[in-house]
Amino acid sequence: MTPPSRNPTNADIVIAGLGMTPVGEHWNLSLRELALQAITAALEDAAGLRPNILYVANMLSPMLSGQTQLGALIADFSGMRGVEAVTVEAAGASGGAAMRQAELAIASGSADLALVVGVEKMTDRVSSDVESALSTASDVDYEAVQGATRTAQAALLMRRYLHEHEAPTDALAGFGLIAHANAVANPLAMFRKAISPEAYAKAPMLSEPVTIFDAAPNADGAAAVLLARRGVFPENPDRPTVGILGSAVATAAPALHDHDDPLTLTAAARAAETAFQRSGLSTEDVDFFELHDFFSVYAAMALEACGFASRGTGWKLAQDGKGSRDSELPILTFGGSKARGDAGGATGVYQIAEAALQLQGRAGEAQVAGARIGMTQCVGGSGGTCATHLLGVLEVD
Amino acid sequence: MTEASPIPMLRPNLEVGIVGYGAYVPRYRLPAREVSRVWKGGTGGTPIEEKAVPGLDEDVITMSIEAARSALARAGIDPSQIRAVWVGSESHPYAVKPTSTVVAEAIGATPHTQAADWEFACKAGTEAVQAAIGFVGSGMARYALSIGMDTAQGRPGDALEYTAGAGGAAVILGPAEESLAIFESSYSYSTDTPDFWRRANESYPEHGERFTGEPAYFEHISAAGSALLKSLGAEAQDFTYAVFHQPNAKFPERAARALGFTPEQTKPGLLVRRIGNTYAGSSMIGLAAVLDVASPGDRILLVSYGSGAGSDAFSLKVTEHITSRRDKAPTVEAYIARRTEIDYATYARYRGKLTLK
Give the per-residue pLDDT at B3. Answer: 52
A118: helix, coil or strand? strand
Number of domains into which chain B is organized: 2
Nearest CA in chain A to B44: A204
Instruction: Read off the pLDDT of each residue in B149-166 and give the average, rounded to a whole number.
Output: 96
ipTM of the complex: 0.78
Percent helix, strand and coil across chain B, each to the nearest 5: 40, 25, 35
CATH architecture for the domain at A147-216+244-393: 3-Layer(aba) Sandwich (3.40)
Check whether A4 has a pLDDT greater than 90: no
Check whether A309 has a pLDDT greater than 80: yes
Q: Do A27 and B43 touch (CB under 8 A)?
A: no
My answer on whether omega of the bond before B12 falls inside 30° of 0, hence cis, is no
Of B208, B214, B215, the CB nearest to A126: B208
Q: Give the DSSP letter of residue A196.
A: -
In a domain, B2, yes or no: no
Give the per-residue pLDDT at A397. Answer: 56
CA distance readout (Å), A99 to A34, A223, A349: 18, 12, 7
Amino acid code (one letter) for B333: E
Nearest CA in chain B to A28: B215
Check whether B216 has a pLDDT greater than 90: yes
Residue B63 is part of which domain span? 16-180+325-350
In a domain, B190, yes or no: yes
B198: helix, coil or strand? coil
Confidence band (pLDDT; 50, 70, 90) for B356?
Answer: confident
Buried b (16+ CB within 10 A) or exposed e, A167-200: beeebbbbbbbbbbbbbbbbebbbbbeebeeeeb
- Could you report the per-residue pLDDT of A139-188, keeping only the tens digit for each? 999 999 999 999 999 999 999 999 999 999 999 999 999 999 999 999 99
**B155 and B288 belong to one structural domain:** no
Q: For A13-125+218-229, CATH number?
A: 3.40.47.10
Q: How far apart are CA A360 and CA A349, in angstroms?
A: 16
CA distance readout (Å), B331 to A58, A254, B22: 58, 64, 8
Q: How far apart are CA B238 and CA B221, in angstroms?
A: 18
**B284 and B201 belong to one structural domain:** yes
Check whether A63 has a pLDDT greater than 90: yes
- Could you report the per-residue pLDDT of A272-297, keeping only the tens digit for each? 999 999 999 999 999 999 999 999 99
Is pLDDT larger for residue B8 or for residue B50? Answer: B50
**B115 and B134 belong to one structural domain:** yes
**B244 and B227 belong to one structural domain:** yes
Question: What is the residue-averaged pLDDT of chain B?
Answer: 96
Q: How far is A167 from chain B (nearest CA, A)?
A: 26
Q: How far apart are CA A73 and CA A81, in angstroms?
A: 9
Q: Pick from A199, A180, A200: which is nearest to A190 by CA?
A: A180
**B40 and B111 belong to one structural domain:** yes
**B79 and B155 belong to one structural domain:** yes
- Which residues on adjacent β-strands are paired with residue A114? A53, A227
Please say whether the beta carbons of A387 and A346 come within 8 A.
no
Count contacts between A and B (CB, < 8 Å): 15
**B25 and B155 belong to one structural domain:** yes
Q: Give the DSSP letter of residue B60.
A: H
Beta-sheet strand order (sheet of B340-341):
B50-53, B28-31, B340-341
Q: Do B43 and A205 touch (CB under 8 A)?
A: yes
CATH of the domain at B93: 3.40.47.10
**B266 and B252 belong to one structural domain:** yes
In a domain, B57, yes or no: yes
DSSP string, B123-170: THHHHHHHHHHHHHHTTS-SEEEEEEEEE----TTSGGGGTB-EEEEE
Please say whether the beta carbons of B150 and B24 come within 8 A.
no
Confidence band (pLDDT; 50, 70, 90) for A3?
Answer: very low
Percent of chain A with pLDDT over 70: 97
In a domain, B257, yes or no: yes
Q: How far is A126 from chain B (nearest CA, A)?
A: 6
Query: Among this protein's residues, is B122 annotated catalytic?
Result: yes
In a domain, B355, yes or no: no
Q: How far apart are CA B61 and CA B68, in angstroms?
A: 10
- Which residues on adjacent β-strands are paired with residue B308? B193
Q: How far apart are CA A397 and CA A231, in angstroms?
A: 10
Q: How far apart are CA A392 and CA A303, in angstroms?
A: 20
**B238 and B132 belong to one structural domain:** no
**B52 and B143 belong to one structural domain:** yes
Q: Pick from A286, A248, A251: which is nearest to A10 by CA?
A: A248
**B147 and B241 belong to one structural domain:** no
Task: In chain A, list all ranges with CATH 3.40.47.10.
Answer: 13-125+218-229, 147-216+244-393
Q: Pick from B271, B237, B276, B235: which is nearest to B253 by CA?
A: B271
Confidence band (pLDDT; 50, 70, 90) for B354?
Answer: confident
In a domain, B254, yes or no: yes
Q: Which B positions 28-47 lie with beta carbon below 8 A of chain A? A: 43-44
Q: Do B209 and A204 touch (CB under 8 A)?
A: no
Nearest 5°: the CA angle A236, A57, A20 is 45
Check whether B288 has a pLDDT greater than 60: yes
Confidence band (pLDDT; 50, 70, 90) for B4?
Answer: low
In a domain, B4, yes or no: no
Query: Among this protein's residues, is B207 annotated catalytic?
Result: no
Q: Do A127 and B208 touch (CB under 8 A)?
A: no
Check whether A6 has a pLDDT greater than 60: no
DSSP string, B213-238: IIIIIIHHHHHHHHHHHHHHT--GGG
Confidence band (pLDDT; 50, 70, 90) for B1?
Answer: very low
Check if B214 contacts A (Cβ < 8 Å). Answer: yes
Query: Among this protein's residues, is B245 annotated catalytic?
Result: yes
Give the per-residue pLDDT at A396. Answer: 67
In a domain, B69, yes or no: yes
Is pLDDT larger for residue B10 or for residue B303? Answer: B303
Check whether A77 has a pLDDT greater than 50: yes
Instruction: Read off the pLDDT of each residue in B332-356 and give the average, rounded to a whole number.
Output: 95
Question: What is the residue-averaged pLDDT of chain A?
Answer: 95
Q: Do A127 and B209 touch (CB under 8 A)?
A: yes
* Chain A residues touching chain B at CB-CB below 8 Å: 25, 27-28, 123-124, 126-127, 204-205
- Could you report the per-residue pLDDT of B88-98, keeping only the tens digit for each? 999 999 999 99
The one catalytic residue in B50, B90, B127, B161 is B90
Please say whether the beta carbons of B50 and B32 come within 8 A.
yes
- Could you report the per-residue pLDDT of B301-317, keeping only the tens digit for each? 999 999 999 999 999 99
**B226 and B119 belong to one structural domain:** no
First-last CA distance in chain A: 35
